[in-house]
Chain A
Amino acid sequence: MEWGSPMRRDPRSDEALLAAFALGDPDAGRDFVLRFQNRVFGVAYGILGDQVLAEDVAQEAFVRAWRHGASYDACRSAVSTWLLRITHNLAVDALRLRRPDGTDPQLLATLAPATDGAAIEEAAITSDRAGAVRAALRQLPPEQARALLLAAYYDRTAAEISRLEGIPLGTAKTRIRLGMRKVRALLVQVEEVP
């Protein structure tokens, strides 16, 4: 939390705030960081599983946003998507250098345990898209969820997943594809809930 103005919320859009931050407006910068820091740090910590390293990566993500904010294209993605993608890429790079196997089983276990199917409907009712994605992941067979998350979170190729999981390459590819398509289909269901 930013001391001195804990209750103030900048009413500007994400795009306007980023643009002002990139131009060097320190107030906009602070508000931008405060608006996104929990999401950015969450991705960094989720992937790295290390508080200190996650803080370094999350800081660097904001520095990159500041440095490259002028080239952000609102037509291509939302600011949050762009920023989380930057964070993800930095975290994966840091992880590969730190741990050659490049995975944190804790995140996989957190996001993809077997559970009941009611959660996705609940998430749809509350318009919690992230919750809906997590619920969709829990509806996948565990081996599909694991393959999908190894690819989506740790940038593991099918060949790497094949080796990590001790399965044929074709099976790894199929698990990624089926997992991805099923999550997509479940999210479409959520979008169709009136």
Chain B
Amino acid sequence: MSNCGQFEDMLDELALGVLPGDERDGALAHVEACPRCQAIVDELSRTADDLLAAIPRAEPPLDFCAAVMARVRPARERRPAQRRWANLAAAAVAAVLLVAGGAAVALRLQDQDELRTVALVAVHGGRVGDALTYASPRWYFLRVDHGLADGAYQCVLDDEDGRAVPAGTLVVSAGQGAWGQRLPSGPRQIRAARLVDATGATVASASLS
């Protein structure tokens, strides 16, 4: 390919997985069509893997293996007390809330299984964050971690009747932002959450149905 020069400075960040979405899409398209740059990215990806493997080993607690094996038993055999990861996810939701509004909101989740996470995907492709939902009481969270320009975005929830319900504002600053909102329980299901920019264009969405 003749335009390697345009992308060669991006290949290291691409291999490390830290190239922002807009640049990443272009770089990926080039690399897929360019065997020379593909070979460089393959080499750099191995270096990225080497860096990860260079983190010193550490010994986990003595009961670590047993704890893992307890979690991989069939679900019907599991005891609720062993689901610590779900507790962490719940803590994560509370953290999202705090980031979202700056308000101290304590959310007590009664059933961790009702917590669900799906990818928030840019309209041009590529994940830009996550959408988290909690069933009862009904909460919706959107979190952007990269790939969207700084600014304010309207959060819109699309219900099953095709209605677009404006639900709040998510501010992206330094590439990151979060929003969370409790909504009244109702018969209508939300099938998608979207982020809409100042021009009214949808920039990212998450399918919740």
How many chain B residues touch A (CB < 8 A): the figure is 48
**8 Å CB contacts to A: which residues of B125-147?**
145-146
Residues of B within 8 A of A47 (CB): 55
Residues of B within 8 A of A134 (CB): 54
Contact for B54 among A55, A66, A137, A157, CB less than 8 A: A137
Query: Is the beta-carbon distance between A155 and B64 smaller than 8 angstroms?
Result: no
Query: Is the beta-carbon distance between B47 and A180 smaller than 8 angstroms?
Result: yes
Interface: B12 (CB within 8 A): yes
Total A-B contacts with CB atoms under 8 angstroms apart = 160
Interface: B105 (CB within 8 A): no
Interface: B101 (CB within 8 A): no
Give chain A's interface residue range (CB within 8 Å of chain B). Answer: 35 or more
Query: Is the beta-carbon distance between B51 and A41 smaller than 8 angstroms?
Result: no
Q: Which of A8-16, A79-87, A114-122 contacts B (4 or more CB under 8 A)?
A: A79-87
- Within the complex, what minimum Cβ distance (angstroms) separates A18 from chain B? 13
Query: Is the beta-carbon distance between B64 and A42 smaller than 8 angstroms?
Result: no
Interface: B99 (CB within 8 A): yes
- Within the complex, what minimum Cβ distance (angstroms) separates B109 from chain A? 15
Query: Is the beta-carbon distance between B58 and A46 smaller than 8 angstroms?
Result: yes
Query: Is the beta-carbon distance between B55 and A111 smaller than 8 angstroms?
Result: yes
- A152-B48 CB under 8 A given contacts A56-B84, A59-B68: yes
Query: Is the beta-carbon distance between B64 and A41 smaller than 8 angstroms?
Result: yes
Query: Is the beta-carbon distance between A158 and B13 smaller than 8 angstroms?
Result: yes
- Within the complex, what minimum Cβ distance (angstroms) separates B168 from chain A? 20
Tell me the complex Cα distance, A151–B59, Å: 25
Residues of A within 8 A of B66 (CB): 2
Query: Is the beta-carbon distance between A133 and B88 smaller than 8 angstroms?
Result: no
Query: Is the beta-carbon distance between A163 and B174 smaller than 8 angstroms?
Result: yes
Contact string against B for A residues 5-49, beta-carbon threshold 8 Å, 1 for contact and 0 otherwise: 000000000000000000000100110011001110111011100
Residues of B within 8 A of A43 (CB): 52, 55
Taking A29-B72, A63-B72, A97-B91 as given, write out 20 further A-B residue pairs in contact, using a Cβ cutoff of 8 Å, ordered by the A residue number: A2-B65, A30-B65, A33-B68, A33-B69, A34-B65, A38-B60, A39-B57, A47-B55, A53-B88, A63-B71, A84-B53, A111-B54, A137-B51, A153-B51, A157-B20, A158-B18, A159-B175, A183-B50, A184-B43, A187-B47
Q: Which residues of B contact A (CB under 8 A)?
A: 9, 12-13, 15-20, 43-44, 47-62, 64-69, 71-72, 84-85, 88, 91-92, 95-96, 99, 145-146, 174-176
